[in-house]
Structures are given as structure tokens and as C-alpha cells.
């Protein structure tokens, strides 16, 4: 969350794709520079990040929470006061950001945050920066868990109609999945498994190691391109940790180093080579330098690695987990009578869509090993599929519970209830009536005495406000 609060200061902006930055002019998608001299190619580094894909897509996803809550509230389907959607948005942001990041740290990549160098942090400050300043990824299963926990805390504290609020929140979650998968695609990550080169929409993506470093080939060897810490005080300790872990395997390039790791990527890849005409070509081996009888050439070029043709699984998941699931939930909402059913459908439908999409998605790189180049974790299933099975079991339980115990939506009352002033009551009892007791109501003496005392209090208050006024 601190990464969000400190934006646009991204300590490690190489971890995301920058849409807009300022570097002597406006840089668009790290490709084009619009400056005083017109539009040209940008080949620099640094600058101030103005907008990146994750912040923009998360912003749109969170705005969707306000949209759906406001829409269903105005339609009368969700009976809550106008301030409740903003409460839900705040809790959703906390649940998503904390839950998604925590799950990624402890499930997908714990060695990067708590392990020893060269991949682990060199000191406590480095560790905190890795956790909070754009080093970590996000796990969707953790986001869902975080939202459920925040909803539970909210219900324990204030007893809102959490089941129906959860229904709207899950519809918003399906909308948000569209934008998060789009961010994955624009960032060139979480791509698909190998596809036939004849597939019209097969794509190549930049190769990153299990620790999210870009992988390059240098003199026929695989290296990870690691950028030096931003804090100069950490650079010396960081370089020492790398050289101690791999003596002779570190090449200093100024702002970054090449760290030799032959297992940085265990799947098929190609080299992105720019030919004499400036066109990028994809080859299996680097081109040889021109031969000469008198000159000895040393090829010191770093060739970025790209994947072999792959399925754009991010777009598949965008359709399955986002568009189709959102359409189904909106259709399902019109046909249920009990609160909580839409939430149960989401927690069942999302993992089902995720489980199917994982058959085209490349499993996470950090689970690769010799003999398990694909990176599966259990019975040929990926980590995402295993977590999806657990989530689907939870979703079926939610469906079963609310189908029997859920409150009827039509019977919901406004929450929080409107507070009306209590009516003025006078503490007297009716009399017995009759000619002998006409006008003599029991208790009237006490009422008159109370009013007299109240008049004295009013007079004292008036004299305190106007001390110069004398009693007549």
C-alpha cells in the first residue's frame, strides 16, 4: 500500500509498464518522446513516472465499485444509505491490496523477500522496499481472501446487510478482473503456454526470471539483468552479496549488473535481434560478427530473450474471469430472491473460469525445476489451479448456505436506519373523570413543577448571554 501512497515515486519502475513519464518531455509507453523538437524515439532511462498500467487499471477497477453500488442503490435493489458505497470502496481497497500482495509474498515468492542474497534482501530497508515499493506481485486468490476478511470485520463491527453488499462487491470484482488481466497483458507477464506459430494471435513476450528480472543472453550464456538499489549506501553490500554467491558471474554495467544464472529460464525462448535495417528479428542463436583475417571481434551484445510463440492467456482470462463472469452475475442477480447467492456464484464461477484458463497459461516461473520445466505443483496442476479448487469449495458452501438461510432481498430494510427524533412525552396519567374530578388530571402537578424548573433554567441561560439585562 505504501507503493500506492508514494506514487509517482516508483523505486523500481522497471517492474511495471509505464504509460506516461516525464524525461525532458512527455514519454509515451517508453517508446516515443514528445518534446520541444517534436516526436522522436525515446531510448533513455529514469524520469518521473506519471502513469503506469497497474495504477491506471486498479483505479478503473475501484471506480467500478462506486459505479455498481451507486447504480443498484438508486434502483432500490440495494437498500443502503448514500455513504455506504464509499465505506465499501475503502474496505475493498484495503482487502485487495493487502490480501493480494500478502498472498504473493508468502505463497508465490517468499525467498525473494525473506531469503538470503543474491535474491533475498541485503538489509531490513531493502526488504521493506521490496515489499512496499513495487517489487512484489499480486495474487488474485489473496485479493478475494482479503475482501472476505474485511467483510467479516465490517459485519462484526456494524452488522450491515453484508450478504447483499457482498453480492454487489462480487459483481464489481468481476468488472475489476477485466482491467487487471488487461494490465497483465500490457505488462507482458503471466503469458500463455507454447502455441503453434501458425496460430494467428500467437505472441512473443519478454522473458523474466522467477524473481521478475529480465533475462538476456550474453556470449551464449543466460544472465539476469538486475538494477542496482536506488540507495547508494546499499550498493556496496548488494554487489558483495552477488559476487560472494557467484564469483566471476557478475558483470557490472553501471546502473545495473548481469548476474549469471543458467537456470533463469528453463523453457523455450528466442533472441530479439535488430538487423541492419533496424527491424527486430527472432533467432535461435546470435549472429556471428563479420569475419576478418587481421581483426579479432568480441561480441559483447546483450540480446533480450523473448518467448517462443505463446497463447495470450491474459486475454483468455480477461474474457473468462471478467467479461463472461460479469455477464453471468448480472443475469443471475435478476433471478435470485435471497441475498448472498450472487456472492456464492462468484466464488464458484471465478475459480472455475480460472481453472479452465490455466490450461493455456504458463505456470509460474518460480516453480520450475529440472524435470519439471512446466512448473506444476500437484498432480500436474499449477498453483493457480490448486488454489482455485480450494476457492470453489468455499464458493459451493456459500451457495448452499444462502440458498437456505439467506434473507429475502425484498424484505431488506434501509441500513443504517433513518434516525428520527423521539416524540415528546409528558409523564402524566389520565384521571378518572367525573364531575368531582373535572380538570384534575393525576400527575399534572408534577408536570407544572417540571415546567417551572425548566423556565428557571431558560431564564438563567438568557441572563448568561445578556448579563446587562436586568430582571423586571
Residues 220-236: tens digit of each pLDDT = 899 999 888 877 888 88
Prediction pTM value: 0.79
Rounded to an integer, the average pLDDT of 424-439 is: 49
Do 231 and 187 belong to one domain? no
Q: What is the pLDDT of residue 295?
A: 64
State which residues form the domain around 221.
214-263+269-307
Do 357 and 383 belong to one domain? yes
Collect contacts of 162-165 with beta carbons under 8 A, ≥24 apart: 163/339, 163/340, 163/343, 163/402, 163/406, 163/407, 164/78, 164/339, 164/340, 164/407, 164/409, 164/412, 165/78, 165/80, 165/84, 165/88
- Asked if the structure places residue 208 within a domain, the reply is no
Q: What is the pLDDT of residue 196?
A: 92
Q: What is the mean pLDDT of the chain?
A: 85
Q: Please state, for a pLDDT cut of 90, what percent of the chain lies above it.
A: 47
pLDDT surpassing 90 at residue 342: yes
261 vs 245: CA distance, rounded Å: 11
Per residue in 39-89, pLDDT (tens digit) is 988 877 777 888 888 888 989 999 999 999 999 999 999 999 999 999 999
The count of structural domains within the chain is 3
Q: What is the pLDDT of residue 250?
A: 94
Do 300 and 159 belong to one domain? no
Least trusted range by pLDDT, from 138-147, 159-168, 282-291 = 282-291
- Asked if the structure places residue 201 within a domain, the reply is no
- If phi > 0 it is left, if psi is from -120 to 50 it is alpha, else beta; for residue 120 that is beta
pLDDT surpassing 50 at residue 243: yes
Do 363 and 236 belong to one domain? no
- Asked if the structure places residue 209 within a domain, the reply is no
- Asked if the structure places residue 203 within a domain, the reply is no
Amino acid at each position: 500500500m505504501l507503493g500506492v501512497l508514494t506514487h509517482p515515486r516508483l523505486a523500481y519502475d522497471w517492474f511495471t509498464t509505464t504509460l506516461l513519464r516525464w524525461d525532458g518531455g512527455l514519454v509515451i509507453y517508453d517508446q516515443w518522446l514528445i518534446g520541444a523538437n517534436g516526436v522522436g524515439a525515446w531510448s533513455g532511462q529514469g524520469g518521473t513516472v506519471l502513469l503506469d498500467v497497474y495504477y491506471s487499471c486498479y483505479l478503473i477497477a475501484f471506480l467500478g465499485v462506486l459505479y455498481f453500488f451507486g447504480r443498484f442503490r438508486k434502483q432500490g435493489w440495494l437498500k443502503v444509505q448514500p455513504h455506504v458505497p464509499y465505506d465499501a470502496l475503502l474496505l475493498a481497497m484495503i482487502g485487495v491490496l493487502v490480501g493480494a500482495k500478502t498472498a504473493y509474498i508468502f505463497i508465490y515468492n517468499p525467498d525473494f523477500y525473506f531469503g538470503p542474497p543474491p535474491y533475498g534482501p541485503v538489509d531490513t530497508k531493502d526488504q521493506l522496499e521490496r515489499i512496499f515499493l513495487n517489487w512484489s506481485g499480486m495474487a488474485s486468490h489473496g485479493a478475494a481472501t482479503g475482501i472476505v476478511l474485511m467483510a467479516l470485520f465490517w459485519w462484526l463491527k456494524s452488522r450491515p446487510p453484508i450478504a447483499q453488499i457482498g453480492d454487489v462487491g462480487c459483481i464489481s470484482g468481476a468488472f475489476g478482473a477485466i482491467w487487471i488481466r488487461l494490465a497483465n497483458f500490457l505488462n507482458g507477464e503471466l503469458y500463455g503456454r507454447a502455441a503453434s506459430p501458425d496460430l494467428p494471435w500467437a505472441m512473443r513476450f519478454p522473458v523474466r526470471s522467477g524473481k521478475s528480472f529480465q533475462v538476456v543472453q550474453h556470449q551464449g550464456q543466460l544472465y539476469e539483468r538486475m538494477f542496482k538499489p536506488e540507495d547508494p549506501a546499499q550498493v556496496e553490500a548488494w554487489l558483495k552479496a552477488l559476487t560472494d554467491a557467484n564469483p566471476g558471474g557478475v558483470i557490472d554495467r553501471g546502473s545495473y549488473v548481469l548476474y549469471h544464472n543458467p537456470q533463469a529460464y528453463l523453457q523455450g525462448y528466442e533472441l530479439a535481434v535488430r538487423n541492419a535495417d533496424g527491424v527486430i528479428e527472432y533467432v535461435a542463436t546470435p549472429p556471428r560478427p563479420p569475419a576478418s583475417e587481421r581483426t579479432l571481434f568480441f561480441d559483447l551484445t546483450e540480446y533480450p530473450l523473448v518467448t517462443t510463440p505463446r497463447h495470450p492467456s491474459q486475454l483468455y482470462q480477461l474474457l473468462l474471469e471478467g467479461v463472461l463472469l460479469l455477464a453471468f452475475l448480472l443475469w443471475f442477480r435478476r433471478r435470485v430472491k435471497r441475498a448472498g447467492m450472487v456472492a456464492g456464484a462468484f466464488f464458484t464461477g471465478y475459480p472455475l473460469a480460472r481453472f479452465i484458463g490455466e490450461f493455456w497459461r504458463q505456470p509460474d516461473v518460480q516453480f520450475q525445476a529440472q524435470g519439471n520445466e512446466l512448473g506444476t505443483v500437484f498432480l500436474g496442476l499449477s498453483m493457480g489451479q490448486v488454489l482455485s479448487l480450494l476457492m470453489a469449495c468455499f464458493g459451493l458452501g456459500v451457495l448452499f448456505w444462502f440458498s437456505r438461510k439467506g434473507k429475502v432481498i425484498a424484505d431488506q430494510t434501509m441500513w443504517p436506519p433513518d434516525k428520527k427524533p423521539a416524540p415528546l412525552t409528558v409523564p402524566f396519567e389520565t384521571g378518572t373523570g367525573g364531575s368531582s374530578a373535572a380538570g384534575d388530571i393525576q400527575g399534572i402537578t408534577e408536570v407544572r413543577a417540571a415546567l417551572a424548573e425548566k423556565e428557571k433554567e431558560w431564564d438563567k441561560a438568557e441572563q448568561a448571554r445578556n448579563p446587562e439585562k436586568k430582571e423586571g
